[in-house]
Amino acid sequence: MDITIYHNARCGSSRNTLGLIRNTGVEPTIIDYLANPPSHALLKAMIAAAGLSVRDAIRPNEAAYAELGLADAALSDDALIDAMLAHPALINRPFVVTPQGVRLCRPAELVLDILPLPQLGAFSKENGEALIDAAGQRIAKP
């Protein structure tokens, strides 16, 4: 099963997403995008495939965002992507690529929409929020 996660181990959303992938019995390809960012073309393609704008895929709360003046609406998508690749912490996370699509998994449970295999058992986020029951079914939110 070909699943790739662009992962930041320090990010709770990324860790929860990885846990949901593993709860299908699949060990994905894990790319530490901070150390190994995708190419310009690949990042642009993932953003498009996820149905996002480039601005949706950038982290405006990172210091580099303000330092580089990235709020400037005149900046092109390509300029924003170049900044994201020069400063990978600006890339929102985690992106997951499966045969069923690409998602920016914030919140983590968005990955469930593109996983080709079912959940194998119960899963709760690190904060204790139950997402999947013992039968592998998604728990409805009230």
17-42 per-position pLDDT tens digit = 999 999 999 999 999 999 999 999 99
Q: Which of 11, 42, 85, 110 is catalytic?
A: 11
pLDDT tens per residue, range 54-67:
999 999 999 999 99
Under the banding of pLDDT at 50, 70 and 90, the label for residue 1 is low
Residue 76 has φ and ψ, to the nearest 5°, of: -75, 165
Predicted local confidence at residue 140, as pLDDT: 85
Read off the DSSP letter of residue 36: S
Predicted local confidence at residue 141, as pLDDT: 79
Name every residue whose Cβ is closer than 8 Å to that of residue 32 and which is 6 or more positions away in sequence: 7, 8, 9
Predicted local confidence at residue 77, as pLDDT: 97
Predicted TM-score (pTM) of this structure? 0.93
CB 99 within 8 Å of CB 82? no
Provide CATH code, domain 4-132. Answer: 3.40.30.10
- What is the arrangement of strands in the sheet containing 29-32, beginning at the earlier edge strand? 29-32, 4-7, 95-98, 101-104
Average pLDDT, the chain: 96
11 among known catalytic residues: yes
β-pairing, 123-124 vs 130-132, is antiparallel
Q: Taking the domains of the chain in order of start, what are their residue ranges?
A: 4-132
Mean pLDDT of 107-135: 95
- Burial of 36-50, coded b for 16+ CB within 10 Å and e otherwise, reads ebbeeeebbebbeeb
Q: Which residue has the tokens 């019995």?
A: 25
For residue 138, pLDDT over 90 is answered with yes
How far is it, in rounded angstroms, from Cα 99 to Cα 61? 31
- 3-state class percentages of the chain: helix first, strand second, coil last, to nearest 5: 35, 15, 50
Mean pLDDT of 102-124: 96
